[in-house]
Amino acid sequence: MTSPAVLCSAMQRHRALFKQWLLVSGRKSRASSAHLPMPPTLSKHNGQLQPRRRQFHWTTRSRSQDVEFTHVRYNVQRLGFAAVTTEDMMFFDSLLPGRVVTDPDILEASNVDWLQTLRGRSQVLLRPQTTEEVSQVLRYCNDRNLAVNPQGGNTGLVGGSVPVFDEIIVSTAQMDNIISFNTNSGVLSCQAGCILENLNNYLEERDFIMPLDLGSKGSCHIGGNVATNAGGLRLLRYGSLRGTVLGLEVVLANGMVLNCLSSLRKDNTGYDLKQLFIGAEGTLGIITAVSILCPRKSAAVNVAFLGCDSFEKILDIFKESKSMLGEILSAFEFLDYSCREVVCEHLKLRNPLQEAPFYILIETSGSNNDHDQEKLNHFLEKVMTCGLVTDGTMATEENKIKAIWALRERITEALVHDGFVYKYDISLPLERIYEIVIDMKNRLGVRAKRVVGYGHLGDGNLHLNIVSEAYDQQVLDSIEPYLYEWIAQHSGSISAEHGLGFKKKDFIYFSKPRAAVQIMQQMKAILDPKGILNPYKTLPPFSQ
């Protein structure tokens, strides 16, 4: 048995190395807003190193040390997993030299979620670089009954990416190589740790784009996107990840590597196993590589930002957009006045329109700019003539397009500066979407500082956000489970694109029948019989 002195020396060595790395990279100092640029890093593609930039979403709204431990706030009992020993640390150190993190200061960022509402107490973070290393880590942890918490960019909003207790964090941050890209088929294969924005930048240089776009694209990982079946801003045009992901490489709990990294669009041989892991939030296996179908970059992109005085008129505008814009319609987003107010107040963004109860962002993408602008102009002329729109502006230049998109994409960031945020990602029939926002405003009254609604109208996805001055259990009790009951009564889903994670796992029955949940639990038991992968997440215990 290795002596405590040897373990202490190893840990001190890790701390010194990673503190030095932090100081060099600038990660020791947190920024006061999102999109903190990081120094260039290198990625190997076809044997050549290529520069790449990373961006991380951080906030200094409160110190992470002030966040209450998750197991204390939610009264969670630790399951019977083993604790990390000296021998375990020596194994990890030999397998991943220089890539075992034990410094509490560094671990803190991976123990706390982006919203700073959940906090684990993991004492070990591993940074594998290859699928084989992930395989050896999981095989060892499974044999030792050590719980594992897979983690990508840690941008999740339901607590699926941070530990609840002392689970070993397995980060994909250093698994960020592009494996291949085929310009004929548009199929990109890459490791799971590639940052979404970096992938999109890589593809744009080749006249392609990622089929997925998110506000957290500067720091989220493609593996995490797939693991949560992220929706995003382009779903209306390109569909969900379940349709665009062609293949996956996944490491199972026992270390077995499941290589289904196909690049074929049609493969009708047996069960489509990759679908098991899309949206499973790392509870069935760790995604290590992704094969995804990427569309060509549109030659013509136009954005219209419109003001509207009622949600009923938004629905009428949406109908007209589908009819008149058809194949070039790529996004239809809406936000209410409170959303516009909060981004202008906290982020100092400029609103190009006069004040209105609602705003709509419409994007078109096509191959012929004259054709697209003509269609868009006819559409805008009709909705303004009919009195559906009170004010509007159109942008064709890239910098102006980005400025308009920022009013929509940075709402989450702005709300964090406004107070404690209770975030809900739900889907409802279109005609019901905004009713719940009004209902919640009336229900909470002055206890809520702000209740806002925004989202992707094209796929019925509403982001309901409620802000109070500080965390208030009485406010939370007034929201849940009332909100989930309301959603179930109106044939909606309690999670549209963020997953269930830790926060929503016990409410799954509001969206799925018990028989379906039981089958999910059985699948979990088959693929991860010891339950070491992302425990306490996604599914309720068998007893429920």
Beta-carbon contacts of 79 under 8 Å, excluding residues fewer than 6 positions away, are 147, 531, 535, 536
Segment 385-412 mean pLDDT: 93
> Confidence band (pLDDT; 50, 70, 90) for 1?
very low
Segment 95-113 mean pLDDT: 95
8 A C-beta contact, residue 499 and residue 152: no
pLDDT value at residue 544:
53
User: What is the distance between the alpha carbons of residues 397 and 413, in angstroms, rounded to a whole number?
Assistant: 25
Segment 435-458 mean pLDDT: 95
Segment 133-157 mean pLDDT: 97
Segment 218-241 mean pLDDT: 89
Q: Which residues of 125-149 are buried (b: 16+ CB within 10 A; e: fewer)?
A: bbbbbebebbbbbbbbbbebebbbb
CA 147, 150, 154, 155 torsion-angle sign: negative
Q: Which residue has the higher pLDDT, 543 or 441?
A: 441
- Three-state DSSP string of 18-57: HHHHHHHHCCCCCCCCCCEECCCEEEEECCEEEEECCEEC
Percent of the chain with pLDDT over 90: 78
Q: Which residues of 290-302 are buried (b: 16+ CB within 10 A; e: fewer)?
A: bbbbbbeebebbb
> Confidence band (pLDDT; 50, 70, 90) for 231?
confident
Beta-carbon contacts of 260 under 8 Å, excluding residues fewer than 6 positions away, are 247, 248, 249, 250, 273, 274
8 A C-beta contact, residue 149 and residue 227: no
Give the pLDDT confidence of 27-78 residue by residue, as tens digits: 333 222 233 223 333 334 443 334 333 333 333 344 567 889 999 999 999 9
pLDDT mean across residues, the chain: 88
Give the pLDDT confidence of 500-509 residue by residue, as tens digits: 999 999 999 9
Segment 163-180 mean pLDDT: 97
> Confidence band (pLDDT; 50, 70, 90) for 372?
very high
For 83-147, the DSSP string reads PP-HHHHHHHHHHSTT-EE--HHHHHHHHB-TTS--B-----EE---SHHHHHHHHHHHHHHT--
The answer, yes or no, to whether residue 21 has pLDDT greater than 60, is: no
pLDDT value at residue 294:
96
8 A C-beta contact, residue 502 and residue 164: yes
The answer, yes or no, to whether residue 11 has pLDDT greater than 70, is: no
Q: Respond yes or no on whether the N-terminal peptide bond of residue 150 is cis (omega within 30° of 0).
A: no
Q: What is the pTM for the complete model shown? A: 0.84
pLDDT value at residue 236:
80
- Tokens 């516009």 locate to 340
8 A C-beta contact, residue 246 and residue 231: no
- What is the residue type of 61? R
pLDDT value at residue 12:
52
> Rounded to the nearest 5°, which phi and psi values hold at 453?
-135, 130
The answer, yes or no, to whether residue 413 has pLDDT greater than 70, is: yes
The answer, yes or no, to whether residue 10 has pLDDT greater than 90, is: no
pLDDT value at residue 45:
40
> Confidence band (pLDDT; 50, 70, 90) for 216?
confident
pLDDT value at residue 66:
84
Beta-carbon contacts of 211 under 8 Å, excluding residues fewer than 6 positions away, are 234, 238, 239, 241, 244, 292, 293, 294, 295
SS3 assignment, position 403: helix
The answer, yes or no, to whether residue 14 has pLDDT greater than 80, is: no
pLDDT value at residue 63:
59
* Ramachandran sector of residue 77 (left: φ over 0; alpha: ψ -120 to 50; beta: rest): beta
The answer, yes or no, to whether residue 8 has pLDDT greater than 60, is: no
Task: For residue 102, count CB atoms less than 10 angstroms from its CB and return exposed for 0-12, middle for 13-18, buried for 19 or more.
Answer: buried
